[in-house]
Amino acid sequence: MYKDIKLEKGLYNITGKSFTKALTDLDPDENYKDTDLAGLDAFERQLKRFDIKVHGEDCDRVEKFFLSTESAVLFPEFVRRCVKEGMDKASILSEVVAATTLTDELTYRGLTVTKSGNDDAVPEAGTVPNTTVRLTAAGINLSKFARRLSCSYESIRKHRIETFAVILKDLGAQISRAVNKQATSVLSYGVSPQSLSGESLTYADLADFWAAMKSYDMTTMLCSPTDMASILAFEEMKYCVSDYMTSGMVKTPYGVTLVKCPDLDGVAIGVDKNCALEMIYGTDIIVDFDKLISTQCDEIACSITVGFSKIASGAIAVLETI
């Protein structure tokens, strides 16, 4: 049972396993099927064990984690989950990444796809069109994105956990925006941009941009807040804006999802998310658990190591918007 698990910081050090996975191995979820604890994972069951409420009207203070040496072990995982939630909310990657790869190397060689010939019927003894897959010419160096939160235990111990979680989620969002910037840089690198037909962006430019991706289907358009505001103001978009109220996403009349990307300036990037970009994880979110388990910690350091590799270059287009 979950109440009998011995919590120790060594659970963070098991190779190839997250803290929650290590807990789950000791306390399998299937043991709680058809019980009041069904739907909680192993970490959440430990919060319940120590009566730590992390949100809601009866939310506890941060110091509740540190009432015992065992409950203190839960704090780094709580931090990691909040940071991850903030990262996920700010991330654009679900709209542009076609595949995800894990590696324990700091340099990675991805795959590139090039096509030759046409798709007409092949005559007898004719030349068959070719699709070539090769390793990227140069290795992709993975980058570490990190942020440190300086806060003494004394400054946070009396604050509600829910309030502190907001700060952690914002920290995660900051890291995620840096990762987003790296992704957009890789996407746009080496792509010849398409120009506007006039001095300012019009709906006709938007339609021409969509049509320019002939061999692929543009599923996503990354654009700056200014460009996105201009697009949303088009008369043709008035029937699409209401979608934002229900799903939080806006699509053009021809099905392209618009994604606001503050780091873009003067360009928009069109992507077929099914085959444009590979994301390489060197590490998932790492939290310095050893310091956090001590009640005298004075900083929280979080990091993630990732890289990106273009797969099919024709699945990416760039539009100059100024």
Per-residue H/E/C for 67-135: CCHHHHCCHHHHHHHHHHHHHHHHCCHHHCEEEEEECCCCEECCEEEEEECCCCCCCCCCCCCEEEEEE
Could you give the CA distance from residue 5 to residue 251 in angstroms, rounded to a whole number?
48
Name the residue among 202, 256, 255, 254 with its Cα closest to residue 233: 202
Question: Do the strands 97-102 and 140-141 form a parallel or antiparallel pair, or are they unpaired?
Answer: unpaired
The number of beta carbons lying within 10 Å of the beta carbon of residue 14 is 12
Question: Do the strands 257-260 and 111-116 form a parallel or antiparallel pair, or are they unpaired?
Answer: unpaired
Q: Are 78 and 289 in contact (CB under 8 A)?
A: no
Distances in whole angstroms, Cα of residue 171 to Cα of each of 32, 72, 84, 87, 166: 34, 21, 9, 8, 9
What pLDDT is recorded for position 246?
61
What pLDDT is recorded for position 294?
67
Return the domain boundaries, the chain: 82-119+128-322
- CATH tag, 82-119+128-322: 3.30.2400.10
What pLDDT is recorded for position 132?
82
What pLDDT is recorded for position 140?
86
| pTM for the predicted model, two decimal places | 0.87
What pLDDT is recorded for position 245?
59
What pLDDT is recorded for position 92?
94
What pLDDT is recorded for position 293?
72
For the chain (322 residues), the mean pLDDT of every run of 10, in chain order, is 89 87 93 90 95 94 93 93 95 94 85 77 78 81 92 87 95 96 94 92 93 90 93 88 69 91 92 94 86 71 93 91 88
What pLDDT is recorded for position 297?
67
Could you give the CA distance from residue 200 to residue 188 in angstroms, rounded to a whole number?
21
What pLDDT is recorded for position 104?
84
